[in-house]
Chains A and B, each alone.
Chain A
């Protein structure tokens, strides 16, 4: 089973394996873990080379931070037994866009997080409904409710209210994110910087003074420059497949009704707040616009979408889509072909 092409740079971690210490503590530990042995060795052989460990520590800290951001931050939420979608922690929801937070709204350093997110009021709730009402609602209230997996490890849960611009009313939302590549790019750049910084250290220790010191200084500066370039590239790398295919994309508006599917996770990166999210969104399609009423048959609609999406993502259908009879673009009788039937 597979969703259409989507961007995913994160992975979620089971609650049992989650490390509750702060991201800064974890990143500092990574930096210390790399720098400490080198520092001890250097202190004995070439104390002046300790300076080259500054970019090593900086790059290692950034690597640690990015790694946490991508792979240690999101906690997988176990799907309920009656989940519409199969496959890991994937969940499907029908809801209304309450607020939109595009990456262009962020300033540095938050701009490195190039995720595009929006708040979804799950069906069949109305703007102004309390958090308790939304959490108790069917069929999607559980998506915005605190889950035992995070409660049992003592994670805070505050929910994620949003303001519906057209009426000014607030509503509890399911936070949904399309992933951008910003932090991933920074991880790549900081990995390179770390290697260059260590090379600077090695040159300083192994190449005689002053040539070694000069080369080490150049490499150290290059390492720091690499970090800066990585941050710049990351901040500008919001996903934009429309460059390859202009037909992709569109616009989101408060009040749009959407079908959303993706990984259901808890985001630990907002403490002391905390909430559940669809992160990343693996499928999102507009199905209407809010006119003050929900379709009366949300449960049936959810079932139909579950079946349709199950078909669309099945490996059988994905293989069938590669067959010659499914390559037409205008109309099957005009640029299609009749499948060969082997008896």
Chain B
């Protein structure tokens, strides 16, 4: 390219761009084409054991680690008729205030049971403060085919150790029967 007058060289930039690939992301129409990076810090998720019991033990270490004080946890005792997690303790109250959360990920590093992880979901905007405080039921991961929702008993004959060693793979028929036997009112009361 020989020396073009400066005015024309400007137009040349414009002209040549017409033959380049468009770099505009067509959000939201084509958002699947631009997934976040694998390590992206999105909305949190409270995971479950393979049989559907919750992994959260209500230890509040996430709340302790949080630099923005965005997490509120209150633990409670698993009673004999209502078991939410293997072992003694579960998280009765779990709230994350997404208006405070800075998505730094210190909470998921602090979690001793890998109950808390982060998803790639980032479309969180909403129109009130109340809606942006996520409760436990908003944060709990989805139930897969093999899971039944807590509360229910542990797999018969196992201890919490077996859960952490990964020996539990799916909900047993006993657990399914127990959850199925729960009436709607009972499920509502649990909530």
The answer on A and B forming one complex is: no
Residue positions of A touching B, CB distance < 8 A: none
Residue positions of B touching A, CB distance < 8 A: none
